[in-house]
Amino acid sequence: MDPFEVTIEILRSNLQLGTRADQFSRDTALMGALPEFNSLTVVSLITAVEEQTGSPVADDEISADIFETVGAFSDFVANKMA
């Protein structure tokens, strides 16, 4: 499956975005731009990445950088899928 599509589905379900997620591009800002995005969301997103990819996420892999944009998060997901 395409990492970008997986990323959109993770965001859609964990942030309860519905069809709003269909408008996202790689450049769409996440942290600070979406009211649904908060510290608790980060935990659920990381858990979803682990579940979707079957790959654990170590604490030292998590940084604010991966949540800046949809593209940055998608690259992180792609890394975990590899």
Confidence of residue 1 (pLDDT cuts 50, 70, 90): confident
Tokens found for residue 40: 């608790």
Tens of pLDDT along 21-55?
999 999 999 999 999 898 889 999 999 999 999 99
- The pTM (predicted TM-score) of the whole model is 0.93
On the question of pLDDT at 13 being above 90, the answer is: yes
* Partner residues linked to 69 by β-bridges: 29
| Domains (range + CATH), the chain | 3-18+28-81 (1.10.1200.10)
Tokens found for residue 27: 């450049």
Tens of pLDDT along 61-75?
999 999 999 999 999
Query: Residue range 7-15: average pLDDT?
Result: 96
